[in-house]
Amino acid sequence: MSATEVDFYSLLEVSRDADGDTIKRAYRKLAMKYHPDRNPGDDECEARFKAISVAYDCLKDPQKRAAYDRYGHEAFTSGMAGGGGGPGGGADFGDLGDIFETIFGSAFGGGGGRARPRRGADLRYDMEIGLEEAFHGKNAEIEVEVATACDTCSGSGAAPGTSKRGCNTCNGHGKVRAQQGLFVIERPCPVCHGHGEVLEQPCSDCRGEGRVDQLQRLDIEIPPGVDNGTRIRLGGKGEAGPMGAPPGDLYIFIHVRPHTVFEREGTALFTRMPISFTTAALGGCVEIPGLDGETHSIDIPAGIQSGRQLRKRGAGMPVLQGRGRGDLVVEVAVETPTKLSARQKEILREFKETETGDECPESRGFFDRLKDAFSG
């Protein structure tokens, strides 16, 4: 259906015998749904909002509606309405072609003619890497089966030595029309599918499609600092478009395998480090190998408790496409010995005999609170 012949009642989703209140409610519902403020940046919604506004402007006015019901859109052409838009100088219906072309595409628009070349599809490839590879980055080669431009016909779809010619069915316009009651229905040509051209002889290798499936090897550069869900775009490496249309893109989605020692959160690396109770009591220094190949010294303060976190600045993951690194965070877990020699037990008994309660203030405070609670 051409743009200026789109039925206003269908556009507002009401029947032709709907009363004024029904039309108003339908308009308000659709206007709220497609209002540009509720759909920022959506050209299709903006165009549809304009179209339903034009339709409502006509149907809410009894005189305009009567003229529309009798003559259709021709009631508002210059030949019947005196060139001033609708009866009474109301809405301007001259830009409906642009509006409906935005909503329904060129097959329903007032101009444009042939269909535009359809861009090739985008492709997705999932790649799994280790945390070390995510830290350092890597170069990898992948294999993707993708529709590429046919070498025999150079993507045109035509057999070598032949070309395209204008479609006889639509006379090269890409569209055909048919009368249906009071309206003229306009559809893409079923022979040339809206292109306006047909092949004299299709290419035997691609059967006129202009593309064939091939296994493609690609070199991928994984930058340092990638994380789960990082997406790498390779422009023009997706499927080739049909009959020489531009190709789509290839998107590489990164998945990082869990590590046996470190857990990652953004650019920070976390690990749980058990230490002996003597190291916890006396303090010391522990060395941890990092993903960067360096050994990082962690100072243990005397009297540290389980669950305390120690931070090594700049020893975490690299910032993706930036400078610097995150931190290495070590959570301390004080381990109670389970196998003691006779001499070690003797030493611990001697230590116990010298305890005053001030060595472990948290334990002493807990039992003091218990005593106070129950003695009261």
Residue 285 assigned as binding residue: no
Residue 43, SS3 per DSSP: helix
Quote the CA–CA distance of 182 and 16 in Å, as a whole number.
15
In terms of DSSP bridges, do strands 211-222 and 138-149 run parallel, antiparallel, or are they unpaired? antiparallel
Residue 189 assigned as binding residue: yes
In terms of DSSP bridges, do strands 328-335 and 268-276 run parallel, antiparallel, or are they unpaired? parallel
Contact 360, 351 (CB under 8 A): no
Q: At what angle do helices 43-59 and 20-34 cross, to 10 degrees?
A: 170
Cα of first residue to Cα of last residue in the chain, in angstroms, is: 90
Quote the CA–CA distance of 363 and 185 in Å, as a whole number.
87
Residue 225, SS3 per DSSP: coil
Residue 183, sorted as left (phi over 0), alpha (psi -120 to 50) or beta, turns out to be beta
Quote the CA–CA distance of 280 and 301 in Å, as a whole number.
7
Residue 170 assigned as binding residue: yes
CA 333 to each of CA 106, 289, 336, 365: distance values in angstroms, whole numbers, following the listed order: 68, 18, 10, 22
Residue 45 assigned as binding residue: no
Quote the CA–CA distance of 269 and 135 in Å, as a whole number.
11
| Cα–Cα nearest to 250, from 258, 259, 240, 260 | 240
Residues making up the annotated binding site are 150, 153, 167, 170, 189, 192, 203, 206
- Binding-site members for Zn(2+) are 150, 153, 167, 170, 189, 192, 203, 206
